[in-house]
Amino acid sequence: MPSRHKGSRLLGRLLLALLLLAALLWLAWRWLLAAQGISQLDWQGLQLSGAGLQVDSLQLVRDGADGSRLHLSASALQLAWPQRAQQRLYLPALRSQALQLSWQAGQGEGKADSDPQALLDSLAWLPRQLAVDQLSLELPCAAGRCALLGSLQLQHAGELQQPAELRLQLQTGPRSLELQAHLVQRDGQWQVLADAQLDRQPLFKLRSELREEAAVSHWQGELELVQLADSRGLFVWLQQWQTPDQRLLDTQASLRLQASWQLALAPGSSLLDGQRLRGGSGTFSAALQLHSPLLQYQDLRAEGLALDLTLAGTLAERQLQIGLQPSSSLQAGRVQFADSIQVQQLQARLAGLALQLGANPSLQGRLQLSVSRLEQAELLPQAWQFSGQLQADAGQQRLQGALSNAAGLNLDVAAARDAQGALQLSATLAELFFRAGNPLSQTLRAWPALLQLGSGRLLGQASLQLPLGAPLLLDLALQFQGLAGVYDRSELSGLDGQLNLRLQGEQLTVELPQLSLQQLNPGLPIGPLQLQGRYVARLGQPLQGLLSWQTAQAALLQGQAWLPAGQLDLAQPSQRLHVQFKDVQLEEIFRVYPAEGLAGRGSLRGELPLLLDAAGLRIEQGRLAAQAPGYLQFRSEKISALGRSNPGMQLVVEALDDFHFDLLDSAVSYAADGKLQLALRLQGRNPAVEKGRPINLNVNLEEDIPALLTSLQLTDRVSETIRQRVQQRLRQRTDPQKEN
């Protein structure tokens, strides 16, 4: 009996220990599943044998930390027991009659392992023999979800020192992809051979070999992505995994790639060692050709694209340097950027560009661009060229060089973008000599059509800043000297000065720190002129700003005319200006005024209140007076005949023959229709008339100023250009149908 009780207690304790062990194993199993993110693991028909385990069906769901989900379903699964080799476990074989894998991308950001050795170590867990008779993949794509059907066979020994073979077949709809890869040993060297076919047409060929010399591995090989007879299928297959706004190439592109490499790897136990890869050195060369009738990405659209690259690379000290060789180029028949810019026959010479990859990636070198025609809303269509230097790294990107066009415009330009995304642009205009031509009028649509410059020179600088979170800042500075030409129906000469323009956000500011014009001649010579002022407006209402001036004066008829310092609010419906003048000479007035027999001498002064509104320009209550005594002479056959025919006018005619005035005063008015009226009051005498007794005269004069200027502009006092413009306008008035 005692022995029976002892046996019972021992059996009970053993059962309790087994239960505890089972519980601990169950908890450990649950913990292991949870640690791997596996939320579901179910199987049916589990059978164990000495060869391994068999499962009729297996369901596994793994949830990633980034919200992704992997769902795996397998049937007729056979897995051999793990084995140990070189102090590590591996799976000898896995076979499945049907395996379905569905992956849903996450919304968050998962943690990425930057060490390639971690990925290589995980690949080492792949079964040495893997066979899936019916493989089904369901992955995210542009249409939402896309299915791939096929089969998979993999056989390897776990190390590159042993042969390996991969066969993969995939099919989606009518498209099929087949990949075969082999690792074999020949003549003491290990070779990698790979071939791929798309829709039973050759896609690429890979040839690579590895050899060991003095404990250093040498790895070299070649890759050729053959140009398919019809390569549209490749891009159709690739683009189904992209949304429309991500697609870069259309379905008619053709691609060809040829590459060769030779690397010397640091000594180590295995090529799969990440340290050996990072410590490798060697050379790399490749030729890439991409041809497509259409390339489209977001707002960029390129037609007739041809990209030809010849690369030469060097790997050393964890840095890969790639240089573009002389035959590298980019061409496009037509390129469109959104709706704002279009170019035709784009050509880019890329030889000399150097790319460095590693701890401090960078791109730098010479860049040459040309287009046969550039179309933009503010520019006249024509050819443009650029030649300069490009420097780009993770911190900033810089582009600097010379920009020119077919009209002869030359600019030194520079662009820079910092790590925060702020952009700075600057341009310097090479000195223009207008005697040789005017490239500005042949470049800018906004150039005034009535402005012609025939001489003088111009310098300019512009800068644009686009900081993040702040309004843009545009500065433009122009310096000009000796400009001469024609504006509308006026000649100008000797224009010197400086203009500064600033656009900050919505505020536009124009400064004229100094401006002088030697002469302005609309038929009546005026000048020199001096102007110093400022204009401020909102960008949305550029013609409704505030105009202020410190100096506004001009020489007029050997006298002076000026505006007192002041300002105008152009947003108001009407504007008032008070033009003042002094020392205007009667002798000069009669010299330019086309009236026969009229002469005189004296100095005039006065004030002309100008009113400008929707009705036009008017003068109200203007005053004109002589500064000192003078004389008038009006001697002509017409005025003499008037006196003989009208006895009441005889005294007036005789007095004006030589009238010495003590007082000359006049009220001045000017109507919007161009009529100038003078209510002239004269007090004086003619020494030869009635013994020089005092005579008072009141004379009302009227003159059509536009007609007067037109008559002056038809004389030889102005250039032939102005006379032709005046004659053209006169013809248009008589025949309105000829107006443009």
Alpha-carbon Rg of the chain, whole angstroms?
46
pLDDT at 11: 61
Give the single-character DSSP code of 266.
Answer: P
Amino acid, res. 739: E
CB distance 328 to 351 below 8 Å: yes
CB distance 563 to 578 below 8 Å: yes
Amino acid, res. 492: L
DSSP string, 316-349: ETTEEEEEE-TT-EEEEEEEEETTTEEEEEEEEE
pLDDT at 111: 45
Mean pLDDT score, 493-519:
93
Distance from the first to the final alpha carbon of the chain: 131
Q: How far apart are CA 569 and CA 572, in angstroms?
A: 6
CB distance 730 to 716 below 8 Å: no
In this predicted model, what pLDDT tens digit does every residue of 446-474 receive, in sequence order? Answer: 898 888 898 999 999 999 998 887 888 99
Mean pLDDT score, 675-699:
87
User: Does position 384 have pLDDT exceeding 50, yes or no?
Assistant: yes
593: which residues sit within 8 A by CB, 6+ positions away? none
Residue 528: is the preceding peptide bond cis (ω within 30°)?
A: yes
The dihedrals phi and psi of 499, each to the nearest 5 degrees, come to -130, 130
Mean pLDDT score, 137-162:
77
User: Does position 212 have pLDDT exceeding 70, yes or no?
Assistant: no
Q: How far apart are CA 516 and CA 554, in angstroms?
A: 9
CB distance 401 to 389 below 8 Å: yes
Residue 110's pLDDT band (cuts 50, 70, 90): very low
Strand-pairing partners, residue 189, are 186
Structure tokens at 388: 């300069």
Helix H or strand E segment including 11: helix 2-35
pLDDT at 381: 95
Structure tokens at 37: 């993110």
Structure tokens at 608: 């002309």
95-to-492, 514, 520, 578 alpha-carbon distances in Å: 93, 89, 97, 101
The strand pair at 507-521 and 490-504 is best described as antiparallel
CB distance 340 to 376 below 8 Å: yes
Residue 529's pLDDT band (cuts 50, 70, 90): very high
In this predicted model, what pLDDT tens digit does every residue of 155-210 receive, in sequence order? Answer: 877 654 567 888 989 888 777 888 888 877 777 677 788 888 877 877 777 777 77
pLDDT at 1: 47
pLDDT at 671: 86
In this predicted model, what pLDDT tens digit does every residue of 553-589 receive, in sequence order? Answer: 999 999 999 999 999 999 999 889 999 999 999 898 8
User: Does position 257 have pLDDT exceeding 70, yes or no?
Assistant: yes
pLDDT at 222: 75
The three-point CA angle 14-18-23 to 5° equals: 150
CB distance 65 to 37 below 8 Å: yes
CB distance 40 to 70 below 8 Å: no
pLDDT at 128: 83
Average per-residue pLDDT for the chain: 80
**Per residue in 167-195, is it b (16+ CB within 10 Å) or e — as a string?**
ebbbebeeebbbbebebeeeeeebbbbbe
Q: When comparing pLDDT for 635 and 484, which is higher? A: 484
Q: When comparing pLDDT for 714 and 317, which is higher? A: 317
Mean pLDDT score, 534-562:
93
Lowest mean per-residue pLDDT among 145-149, 436-440, 473-477, 572-576: 145-149
The alpha carbon of 340 is separated from its chain's Cα centroid by a whole number of angstroms, namely 10
Q: Which of 106-115, 117-126, 174-183, 661-670 has the highest mean pLDDT?
A: 661-670
Residue 272's pLDDT band (cuts 50, 70, 90): very low
Q: How far apart are CA 31 and CA 139, in angstroms?
A: 29
If you search the block for the tokens 């001036």, which residue do you land on? 549
Count CA within 13 A, CB hemisphere, residue 405. Answer: 19
Strand-pairing partners, residue 61, are 40, 71
In this predicted model, what pLDDT tens digit does every residue of 627-659 receive, in sequence order? Answer: 999 998 887 776 666 656 666 677 777 778 888
Amino acid, res. 21: L
Lowest mean per-residue pLDDT among 83-92, 350-359, 510-519, 697-706: 83-92
User: Does position 505 have pLDDT exceeding 70, yes or no?
Assistant: yes
Q: How far apart are CA 463 and CA 682, in angstroms?
A: 61
Burial class (CB in 10 A: 0-12, 13-18, 19+), 604: buried
Helix H or strand E segment including 150: strand 144-155
Q: When comparing pLDDT for 27 and 685, which is higher? A: 685
CB distance 383 to 374 below 8 Å: yes
Mean pLDDT score, 517-545:
90
Residue 533's pLDDT band (cuts 50, 70, 90): very high
How many Cβ atoms sit within 10 Å of the Cβ of residue 697? 17
pLDDT at 114: 42
